[in-house]
A = this chain, B = another copy of it.
Amino acid sequence: MLRTHTNGELRLTDINKEVTLCGWVQVVRDKGGMIYIDLRDRYGITQLILEESKTDKAVLDTVRTLSREFVIAATGTVIERLAKNDKIPTGDVELKVSNVTILNPAKLPPFLIEDKTDGGDDIRMKYRYLDLRRNPVRANLVLRHQVAKFTRNYLDNQDFIEVETPVLIKSTPEGARDFVVPSRMNPGEFYALPQSPQTFKQLLMVSGFDRYYQIVKCFRDEDLRADRQPEFTQIDCEMSFIEQEDILNMFEGLIRHLFTEVKGIDIGEVSRMTYAHAMKTYGSDKPDIRFGMEFKELKSEDIDLTSGKGFAVFDDANTVVGICVKGCAEYTRKQMDELTDFVKRPQIGAKGMIYMRYNADGTLKSSVDKFYSEEDLKQWATTFGAEKGDLILILSGDGDKVRKQLNELRLEMGNRLGLRNPNNYSVHWVVDFPLLEYGEEDDRWFAMHHPFTSPKPEDIQYLASGEYGKIRANAYDMVINGVEVGGGSIRIFQKELQAKMFEVLGFSDEEAKHQFGFLMDAFEFGAPPHGGLAFGFDRLCSLFGGSDSIRDFIAFPKNNSGRDVMIDSPSTIDQKQLNELKIKTV
């Protein structure tokens, strides 16, 4: 080793030891008589000290050529610091340097290698290897390593076996768009990169592997939204001889283990909520339940507290629904306008917002006073369980659509009121998702989860009757702080039911056989009941790190055009390569 210790290691107990440290020059402070260097590595910072009168002149000369990010080796004696620094673990000592070797000089980096940097996103991505030197970015990757490690520990202890499934697989048109790989040995044919190892893990269950997991790269060639990556990592799991409840217990156990080990947090009970309840109460299939503001209805299939009073907006809507925001009755006109503007943004698309203040003096004041009597408003207040000082925000419109709008408003209020602290965690399941959803554009039914998800036994009747919208699936998502971190389902394991599902999804027999024949065959040779789920590993890490961005938790991420700007990829390839692959760009 070129060093005897790391820069995070020396303590008072090391005093008088002769040591050699290696690392990067964080900063040189030349005070004339004394020169101080902060030497940095992955483990910390140690202060080096040289004294004009006592250090060899050649060494001083070398040190005076150093600047930020030079890589050096420094040898000397550990001494006690006069002015201790209690902000760093090595702050009680310093290294009295007898020799310094420059291992590699450094140009001035294009941005500051400090916790708060002056580098913008683009420059930091181009020089990602320098960005990764910064403590917060490095800490993210260390966290990621730990989450992976404790995931493996937990699953290993539960008899899961990690099995690597292939990366070069087969393209299937169902689902998102595949990345494909031309085969040179089989001209005109292509591999596809997996969007998930779904069919392989099911085959492993048919093989009797019983408890499988894999931390695995997956790929989707989608137009990238702000926080999507073309390659991403999943914790992929599957179990046999189980029921839904077993999966939920096993994997809330995993998440509990991770919170305990990585964050030192006990997450308490992990509650379950049906999809129907989540949509009705929060307008979302991934509600953030760390704060109340549950939806209350003024008009719906079950109730009508608004019609016939001459307010056409409510009269024309089939749904009037709102939230009660505690203690915000005093919101100013300006604040109310901001909220109205918020819900009217095209991404949300509400036509407007109605509000009602339950003032401190007990009076009720709404933006629709001219249509509704105080009695009406009192009834509303009761419906919302409102108290003095509360503010009620109401949207109206069409069923699920208005609920989704209100969900956005609810989350916005949570943000405004500081109720969504990323370091305050709430974990729950949403269960009983619909099996199928109707795609207006394509005029056909789509699998909400994927074509291998099993309907709830009590709803299988609707497969026969053609009432596809009524079928609930044995499918579940785990939600943390309003973010879907994972999901899965109990799978179909009988050939006939799987064939029926493909039929409902518009596959011809031939298409089903061409694409999934191997799976249908496998189901005939003794497939066990099985199910599983996958966690978005990048997302999970970002949640543990208290961040919104998965990109911060990926060593070398791509930008929104799918480019790695550091290595400048994708790029053109040689004509020779194209010729060998027997393809042409057009």
Contacts and interface: CB of A to CB of B under 8 A. Distances in A.
B210 A41 contact: yes
Contact of A129 (B162, B231, B522): B522
B567 A169 contact: yes
A123 interface: no
A241 B20 CA distance: 11
B42 A208 contact: yes
Contacts of A70: 526
A162 B181 contact: no
A142 interface: yes
A586 interface: yes
Contacts of A586: 582-584
A577 B180 contact: yes
B231 A168 contact: yes
A572 B190 contact: yes
Interface string A238-256: 0011110010000000000
A114 to B, nearest CB: 14
Contacts of A526: 24, 69-71, 104-106
A127 to B, nearest CB: 7
Oligomer copy total: 2
Contact of A163 (B145, B183, B493): B145
Interface residues of A, number: 124
B209 A132 contact: yes
Contacts of A109: 525
B181 A181 contact: yes
A409 B182 CA distance: 41
Given A130-B207, A185-B562, A571-B170, A493 B104 contact: yes
A413 interface: no
A556 interface: yes
Given A181-B193, A526-B71, A132 B164 contact: no
A22 B210 CA distance: 11
A226 to B, nearest CB: 15
Given A42-B209, A149-B152, A569-B169, A555 B525 contact: no
A141 interface: yes
**From A185, A558, A568, residue with most partner B Cβ within 10 Å:** A185
A166 interface: yes
Contacts of A189: 570-572
A469 B459 CA distance: 75
A167 B219 contact: yes
A181 B184 contact: no
A187 interface: yes
Interface string A557-586: 010011110111111111001001111111
16 contacts: A1-B241, A23-B208, A40-B208, A103-B529, A106-B525, A138-B208, A163-B555, A167-B167, A169-B569, A177-B577, A177-B580, A182-B585, A183-B570, A189-B571, A517-B568, A518-B566
Interface of A: 1-3, 22-24, 40-43, 69-71, 73, 103-107, 109, 127-130, 132-133, 138, 141-142, 144-145, 148-149, 152, 156, 161-171, 173, 177-193, 199-200, 203-204, 206-210, 217, 219, 221, 223-224, 230-231, 233, 240-243, 246, 493-494, 517-518, 521-529, 554-556, 558, 561-564, 566-574, 577, 580-586
Given A41-B208, A103-B529, 9 more contacts: A3-B241, A104-B493, A107-B525, A132-B208, A144-B163, A164-B555, A173-B577, A177-B580, A180-B581
